[in-house]
A and B are shown apart, each in its own frame.
Chain A
Amino acid sequence: MDAIISAASVVSAGLAVGLASIGPGIGQGNAAGQAVEGIARQPEAENKIRGTLLLSLAFMEALTIYGLVVALSLLFANPFTG
């Protein structure tokens, strides 16, 4: 394997996951904070809020996972090494 290609692949794999986790991190924090606020205001709605929160957290997590898929394909199935 070409040294430059493998070095670039490793660096960009790290960047892919790192950058992809910024946005969803902020979003998940916001969502969880709002959910806690909702539960504090209306404790009887806790079950419904928890269900919706989990579902939407999983959606946000999917964005990080896309970055992870890119990183994994760079590490384990690199198309540029031939």
Chain B
Amino acid sequence: MYTGTLSLSDVEVGKHFYWYLSEKLSLHGQVLIVSWFVLLLILSFSILGTQKIEKIPQGWQNFMELVVEFIEDIAKNQLGPTAYKPWIPFIGTLFLFIFGSNWAGALIPWKIIQLPVCELAAPTNDNNTTVALSLLVSLTYFYAGIKKKGLGYFKRYLQPTPVLLPINILEDFTKPLSLSFRLFGNILADELTVSVLTMLVPLIIPLPIMILGVFASSIQALIFSTLAAAYIAEAIE
């Protein structure tokens, strides 16, 4: 692995700040630290927004209502105006967590805090986080389908013709795979391009890529939550 001459810009992929729970069980500490930070941030935003609820919203309440309406729109566009209500919390949680962690990785100068092994970055640049999120999506659309139709949900595997059964089963595996790799790859690719460019030219040149990264990571959060909503809609239609 290449190690830069400047300590300002190392490419640190595949190094982790391990926490050992026991002999065999270890955690990626740097991911957990930043995701707890993001959770704390989202929690404090929502507490601030619901502190003094008024009829005519002002300040934080106004902002949080805007956020909630945006999330409602995502759910309503995919699930339709009748069925979207119960899924707003799930889709909103996905959107806010991914958005928060992508932007926390892009905007906060984590390099100030020194870790012994690697550096703090967006939690979504670790494959474990994104696989966990997309498996949650899989579980949720199975739950949604079975709750709506009972065991009749599994009839859709034979839907156009029974010949397509293997492909329909395969689809249940490719959905979380593509969902997780899309998010993980985009965030990691963004951080890698920025760090490689910073290694070559430390000043000014990486800035446009950073701005593009901030934009792309917000789009990725939107895509992930839209796709989650679309999968749920497919299961309950």
A residues at B contact (CB < 8 Å): 54-55, 58-59, 61-62, 65-66, 68-69, 72, 75-77
Contacts and interface: CB of A to CB of B under 8 A. Distances in A.
Contact of B219 (A58, A66, A75, A76): A58
A16 B11 CA distance: 20
B189 A55 contact: no
B184 A69 contact: yes
B13 A76 contact: yes
A72 B13 contact: yes
Contacts of A54: 219
A73 B76 CA distance: 38
Given A76-B14, A77-B14, A65 B223 contact: no
Nearest to B185: A65
A63 to B, nearest CB: 9
A21 B184 CA distance: 17
Contacts of A59: 223
Contacts of A77: 14
Main secondary structure of the interface of B (DSSP, over half): helix
Contact of A61 (B14, B186, B192): B186
Interface string B36-78: 0000000000000000000000000000000000000000000
Contacts, number: 37
A82 to B, nearest CB: 16
A76 B196 CA distance: 14
Contacts of A58: 182, 219-220, 223
A75 B226 CA distance: 32
From A54, A61, A66, name the one whose CB has the most chain B CB atoms within 10 angstroms: A61
B219 A65 contact: no
A66 B185 contact: yes
A61 B13 CA distance: 22
Interface string B192-224: 100000000000000000000000000110110
Contacts of B14: 76-77
Given A55-B226, A72-B13, A76-B13, A62 B1 contact: no
B188 interface: yes
A1 B224 CA distance: 38
Contacts of B223: 55, 58-59
Contacts of B181: 62, 65-66, 69
